[in-house]
Amino acid sequence: MEIMKIGILGVAGVMIALQFKTIKPEISLYLGFVICIIIFSFSVDGLFQVLKRMEMLQKYMNSGDSYFKLLFKAVGVTYICEFCASICKDAGYAAIAGQIEIFGKLTVLFMGMPVLTAIIENINAIAG
């Protein structure tokens, strides 16, 4: 039922922000930012619950926790970049939002390089 709370909060926040958009646009922007922070906090709580479940699965894997740590860092990077880019777009700074998104994509690509290297090494070991 958390999704209902988040949905209602988001729609109510947008409706209130729309009332201020023509009169005081800065209040509308700040209100949108506050609603985003509140929803973000709910998402972080959900992410910690997923982390606990993944730790249980980790016990059954031989590769250790390095891949899980990498996965959660990548998810965190993408979520934070998307959050910041959305705020910038709402404020009218689409160019900055685009640069944040590109930086996030490159960061995730860079983070995935050790996994790709390990896969290639395993393929070479099997083929060789």
Q: Name the pTM for this structure.
A: 0.68
More confident residue, 127 or 1: 127
H helices of 22-93, in order, are 25-58, 66-90
Interval 88-96 mean pLDDT: 89
Residue 96 has which token pair? 């900055």
Count of other CB atoms within 10 angstroms of residue 9: 14
* 81: Cα within 13 Å, side-chain hemisphere: 17
| Percent of the chain predicted with pLDDT > 90 | 19
The answer to whether residues 67 and 115 touch, using CB atoms and an 8 Å cutoff, is: yes
* Among candidate residues 79, 80, 84, 81, the one with its CA nearest the CA of residue 33: 84
Distance CA 96, CA 109 (A): 20
pLDDT in tens, 31-80: 988 998 888 888 887 778 877 887 777 777 666 567 777 888 888 899 89
The reported pLDDT for the residue numbered 64 is 59
Lowest mean pLDDT among 10-19, 20-29, 50-59: 50-59
